[in-house]
Amino acid sequence: MTSAPAVEAVELRKSYGTAVVLDGLTLRVARGSVRALLGPNGAGKTTTVRILTTLTAPDGGAARIDGYDVVRERRQVRSRISLAGQYAAVDEEQTGVENLRMMGRLAGLGRADARRRAADLLDRFDLGAAGGRRVAGYSGGMRRRLDLAASLVGEPSVIFLDEPTTGLDPRSRQALWTVIADLARGGTTVLLTTQYLEEADQLADTVSVLDGGRLVAEGSPAELKERFGAQRLDLRLRDHASLVEARARLGTRVVHHDPGRLEVGVATDGSAPHIRDLLDEVDPARRTVVRFTVRGATLDDVFLALTGHPAAPAATRPEVTNV
């Protein structure tokens, strides 16, 4: 096992016309780890994945997978990677086992090896009982698991997952999280893009936050939350005028804002002196703060602090400074 990163991108640049999509992006992903790419729409996540998977050529910079250049050594790169998109790319008219056997044959396996690989993957993804059924009758979660199984037929060393749990119900999402965690424990390097911040918090060893084609923060979920406020002080204000005044006093330190509930939140270290100082700053006359709550910071707070706006709300999701 080499200590070289499984995925390495150095000063990647990409533009479409006058629109700069990647602006000197550098990433290094350790072997057997899970890396989450976070960022608002247009941050450059998908373009990064397309370059790393040889689907798009960069305008500048370099990228390597297992030491192979994604431009000059595309064949070697493609033999080591797999890509699973937002939606299951399986044949609904075939059964689960037929899909996996077909993928095995396309990957160069003999008939017997393709059968064995299909059976192993169906068991691994808890699809053994459904293997003989047509995929058209599968639930959304089952299709996503089958799609992920299909992407592993060739036993890639690196797998790219683009919004892997889009559209899944909470139970199916949890099941897929277990599968992804098992992949990493088995030595597969996983790079996923997501706007579900809980997903990154649950799965990722390291989170890279992109904004405007640049890396604006990088670290473990715990490190990022510690850096941008291990805890959060939420203040309930008396009325809308008080809320506006509180936001003005806190300025760019605001990490949570809910006008409907007359709430504003700010990062804090959780100590009594700091909380007291914040309360005195926001409400020096002690008339406008109705209630306050101290809670643990989330990646949503980090995302807001770094990009200036919250991640997409769950109902609409579709699909750095070193720490």
Alpha carbon distance 28, 301 (integer Å): 24
State how far the Cα of 265 lies from the Cα of 256, in Å rounded to an integer. 4
Banded pLDDT at 321 (limits 50, 70, 90): very low
Task: Decide: helix, strand or coil at residue 309.
Answer: coil
| pLDDT score recorded for residue 318 | 35
**Percent of the chain with pLDDT strictly greater than 90:** 52
pLDDT digits (tens, 9 = 90+) for 60-80: 999 999 999 999 999 999 999
Do the domain assignments include residue 315? no
Q: Are residues 109 and 28 in the same domain?
A: yes
DSSP-assigned states of every residue in 38-66: E--TTSSHHHHHHHHTTSS--SEEEEEET
Looking at residue 48, its amino acid is: T
Residue 296 falls within a domain, yes or no? yes
Give the chain's largest Cα–Cα span.
79
Residues 137 and 235 in one domain: no
> Which tens digits make up the pLDDT trace of 23-33?
999 999 999 99
Question: 245 and 112, same structural domain?
Answer: no
Domain ranges, residue 270: 226-307
Same domain, 250 and 152: no
Tens of pLDDT, residues 234-253: 999 999 999 999 999 999 88
Q: Return the structure tokens found at 248.
A: 């003005």
Give the per-residue pLDDT at 311.
58
Domain match, 60 and 174 both: yes
pLDDT grade for 144, boundaries at 50, 70 and 90? confident
In a domain, 204, yes or no: yes
Count of domains for the chain: 2
- pLDDT class for 171, splitting at 50, 70, 90? confident
159 part of a folded domain: yes
Same domain membership, residue 284 and residue 232 = yes
Residue 209 and residue 233 share a domain: no
Q: Are 18 and 163 contained in the same domain?
A: yes
User: Which of 6-15, 164-173, 304-313 is the most confident on average?
Assistant: 6-15
On whether both 242 and 202 belong to a single domain, the answer is no
Question: Are 212 and 236 within one domain?
Answer: no
When the pLDDT of each residue in the chain is averaged and rounded to a whole number, the result is 86
Provide the pLDDT confidence category of residue 223 given band limits of 50, 70 and 90: confident
10 Å CB burial of residue 112 (0-12, 13-18, 19+) is: exposed
314 within some domain:
no
| Most confident range, picked from 68-77, 162-171, 205-214 | 68-77
Domain shared by 33 and 157, yes or no: yes
The residue among 148 and 317 whose pLDDT is bigger is 148
Alpha carbon distance 112, 171 (integer Å): 35
How do residues 187-203 score in pLDDT, each as one tens digit?
A: 899 999 987 778 888 89
Least confidently predicted of 114-128, 218-232, 274-288? 218-232
If asked whether residues 116 and 234 sit together in one domain, one would say no
**DSSP H or E run through 273:** helix 272-282
pLDDT in tens, 228-238: 656 889 999 99
Is the pLDDT confidence value at 304 over 80?
A: no
Domain presence at residue 318: no
We report the CATH number of the domain holding residue 176 as 3.40.50.300
Query: Considering the domain boundaries, does residue 290 fall inside one?
Result: yes
Q: How far is CA 224 from CA 189, 198, 287, in A?
A: 21, 14, 34
CATH number at residue 239: 3.30.70
